[in-house]
Structure 1
Amino acid sequence: MTNAIPSELNLVACEPITSHGFALPLFGQRSRANTLYIAHCHPPGDHAGRITEFELYEASRPLWLPSTLELPSAVGDPWVDVFLWEEVPIATGVAIAIWAALHSIFDEIAAHAPLSLLDAAIHAGRPERDNLAQAARGYVEKRFGSKRARHWSVALIARNLEVMLARSAANGPLALAAKPVNDVERARIEANSNISTVTLSLVNSDQAERTRMLEPVLADATGLAAALHVELHCNRPTPDDSTEIYHPKKKRRIHKERLDKEFPSVSIDHGRLSTNDEQPTAIPPNAHEYGGRNLMYGPEILVRTLSKATRKDSLGNRWQYHSRSDHHSKVACWGVIFDLLRTTPLLRKHVEKGVVYFGINHEMRDFVHDRKKNLDLVLCTPSGVGAAQSPVTLSSIAAEYRIDLTDTEQSELVALPVLRRAPVGSVLMALEAKACMTAHQRALPRLYDELNSSHLTVHGATDQAIAAGFTMVNISDHYLSPDMNKSNRVSDPKWSKHQQPRDAQLTVDKIRQLPKRSRTGDTGYDALSIVVVNCANDGSPVELVTGAPAPQLGDIYQYASMIDRLGHIYATRFKDL
């Protein structure tokens, strides 16, 4: 009797193809599982696609992921990838999370593995893509000659067009007639031409459909084609045209054969684009369809907003941070929801349909122990009627909290579906934000107790709810405390001195001791992040600290990892909402 293949697994390993770049993701029911699976994606090869099924796979040399990089994955979830650097997994998740994780070593990747960096940019929909494409083509040309550079460029454009058209084809298969590289295009490339050509044609489509499908696809492809010196043509074949027609395949198997030792022609037939240097681009897809155009915004929004002294005490002093104000918590939670909405297609769908709303300072009561706690911000279903007409939205509270957004962030906010405030019905996700800004060691017991009580209260009220925690730790060696500088701030300021980075490290270590859970029924946070800032609270700009003791690449406490995990859990737990 054949066992049914699970629909929910964990990303636990990968199979390397090169020492750096994207590897083949492998899934299992637990760490170091004896039975491993690969995933299929729709559209095939699309890193904005979704997992459609798992398939048994016999790995020749699995590379196990550290527990910090393992991720729950289920049918219907966004595709997830594994990125290696020097044969070590350093990032997992959707495209935007991987791009964010690579940020600190961009220069190193650009110098030694420009094709892998281009892959990451294409998958995440980054605006840097075209510039990186120019650098990647120069790299290929320098190492392998202009002929192979043209060959590689044309194959990349053809593959990218196929993926984009498959994504756009909402109603039935869309026939793509890009002349194959090994036929007409090979002849043109070999004909000593400095400009290669890709010809795109649609068949069996009326004019309206062609216009709808082609315009966004060609708009996206034009920039990449120009960067790679590829001439892009679009024709509609006549009925007797003999050009080969092929449809995006509904399913592709992953090939695990070894790559040639010589630089091969690039294959676009099997869900990945392979070259032989530091290669293969993207074994099936990764990431969310919203086009991950940017890194996570939340932490930068927080420090930018806190750089302005907007909190006023009873004596008229203005502060950037005040422990008796919840402004910093609200700004932090706002950023989390903003990033989550940007990167989680299912959440955007639920908001657009009027299924999900948010609540502020919502009281939750632990049914088991009869304790209650106000949570900073919750995502919820509405209680009662009239929620759809609520004037309080994610955008309006950004203005209310004086959240400082860049033009880019404001544009993305406007493009998102309108998330409205409503009376809370069922809580789907509860956010708690805490900060440790001064007197670090003395504050640790209370900080831990407050954070620990949050997830206990959330799950004591409803075990299905997602409990998320955001923590901000100050690494400044001096600090102007509002409690110690009420009437003497100008005449005789009293500075709090910190022993850094020791104090910040102690705080980070204590937060790491908080319980976490990987499934419902267990005790702990579903996701938790630690952000380290440098804030003197004297009016000088607040800085975001990315070096130690801040969580590093692949750390589960890194902000991008938290957003990635929240998105995965939401898409799995509430897919039938």
Structure 2
Amino acid sequence: MSDSQNGHRFGDERIVDWLNQSREWKYPKDAPYHPRSDKHGAAQCQYFVEDLMYESDAIEEAAQAGEIVFAEDYDVGDPRGLGWNVDLVIGPPSGDVQAPLEGGMTKDTPSEVWLAADAKSIITEHQKARRNRQRDINSFADIMHTHHEQALTCGILLLNIADQFDSPTRDPDDITDHPHIERIIEEIVDLFDSIDRAEGEMSANLDGAGVIVVDHTNLVDDIGETELVTDPPAPQKGDRVHYRTFVSQMADWFDDRFL
């Protein structure tokens, strides 16, 4: 039976729905995605939590029993120094929690971090952003393991393959063109695939990364449906940076290490 027939839709499909909301915007600044907003990252993390529960009966049972909880915008260390504001953490609760009445995982502060996820995106100006995102994810894994040695660390990267984008942070109508975008996306996918991995062992390295490629434009005169890109240069099923392969691997390692 397919996932959709089971009633579950993975986060790679759902973030496309999120980007497609309110398609009748009048200006790019009205679009759901804004580079200085954390809303898209928060949505992606929520989908990831639900995907982990779908992949693992043990995670689902622990969540429904109130034995694990999640928190967003979680400070590890001092963010002004050797610290990080983490998009998502999962771990055992600090005290008794009310288990969700309709399934899901309770939002609460964990007593320790068992999994930490950072959600990043490169929607426009890819050449400038790619190395910044790589440095971000490497620093994130290193800082997390400094404070929580046993934690699984992972990153989720949303990549835009549209050849034009009108960034709300630039001057009006200063539209960014992305020439050779397919080659650039392929290079970014390879870059994130090349990041050293812990491979299920406890180390300072990243444990996993999932890359989602979308075709998303916000040009007012050329608004079309945002689409999930599944053909190359997007990662292919079985690639370790393919989103659903990544989710399955993280669920397995979470089970093995903590449950």
Q: What is the TM-score normalised by the length of structure 2? A: 0.88
Matched, 1:508 2:198: no
Matched, 1:570 2:254: yes
Structure 1 residues 567, 317: CA separation in 2 closer, same or farther (over 3 Å shift)?
closer
Distance 2:28 2:7 in 1: 39
For structure 2, which runs of at least 5 residues remain unmatched after alignment? none
Give how far 1:422 is off.
1.2
Measured against aligned partners, the alpha-carbon deviations of 1:245-283 in whole angstroms (never above 9, x if no partner) come to xxxxxxxxxxxxxxxxxxxxxxxxxxxxxxxxxxxxxxx
For structure 1, which runs of at least 5 residues remain unmatched after alignment? 1-120, 128-292, 396-413
Aligned-partner SS, 2:240? coil
Structure 1 residues 125, 432: CA separation in 2 closer, same or farther (over 3 Å shift)?
closer
Aligned-partner SS, 2:72? strand
Q: Which residue of 2 aligns with 1:498?
A: 178
Structure 1 residues 126, 419: CA separation in 2 closer, same or farther (over 3 Å shift)?
closer
CA contact (8 A) 2:199 2:207 kept: yes
Distance 2:253 2:215 in 1: 31
Give the letter aligned to residue 213 of structure 2: V
CA contact (8 A) 1:320 1:537 kept: no
Give how far 1:294 is off.
5.5
Q: Which residue of 2 aligns with 1:475?
A: 161
Matched, 1:299 2:9: no
Structure 1 residues 364, 303: CA separation in 2 closer, same or farther (over 3 Å shift)?
same
Give how far 1:418 is off.
3.9
Aligned-partner SS, 2:113? strand
Matched, 1:381 2:92: yes
Aligned-partner SS, 2:234? coil
Give how far 1:507 is off.
1.9
- Equivalence map 1:18-29=2 (5 Å): none
- Equivalence map 1:534-553=2 (5 Å): 534-538=215-219, 539-553=223-237
Q: Which residue of 2 aligns with 1:279?
A: none
Distance 1:365 1:554 in 2: 35
- Equivalence map 1:111-130=2 (5 Å): 121=1, 127=5
Aligned-partner SS, 1:449? helix
Q: Which of 69, 84, 109 is equivalent to 1:423?
A: 109
Give how far 1:326 is off.
0.6
CA contact (8 A) 1:351 1:357 kept: yes
Q: Which of 432, 436, 439 is equivalent to 2:118?
A: 432
Give how far 1:352 is off.
2.2
- Equivalence map 1:125-164=2 (5 Å): 127=5
Measured against aligned partners, the alpha-carbon deviations of 1:197-219 in whole angstroms (never above 9, x if no partner) come to xxxxxxxxxxxxxxxxxxxxxxx
Output the aligned Cα RMSD.
2.5
Give how far 1:295 is off.
6.3
Q: Which of 75, 79, 83 is equivalent to 1:372?
A: 83
Matched, 1:324 2:36: yes
What is the count of residue pairs matched by the alignment? 251
Give how far 1:316 is off.
10
CA contact (8 A) 2:137 2:155 kept: yes
Give the letter aligned to residue 211 of structure 2: I
Identical-residue share of aligned pairs (%): 25
Higher relative contact order, structure no. (Cα contacts within 8 Å, ≥ 6 residues apart): 2
Distance 2:190 2:3 in 1: 35
Distance 1:316 1:475 in 2: 17
Distance 1:316 1:518 in 2: 41
Give how far 1:386 is off.
5.5
Q: What is the TM-score normalised by the length of structure 1? A: 0.41
Structure 1 residues 472, 317: CA separation in 2 closer, same or farther (over 3 Å shift)?
closer
Matched, 1:355 2:67: yes
Give the letter aligned to residue 475 of structure 1: I
Aligned-partner SS, 2:112? strand
CA contact (8 A) 1:430 1:466 kept: yes
Measured against aligned partners, the alpha-carbon deviations of 1:338-362 in whole angstroms (never above 9, x if no partner) come to 1111121111121122111111100
Give the letter aligned to residue 176 of structure 2: S
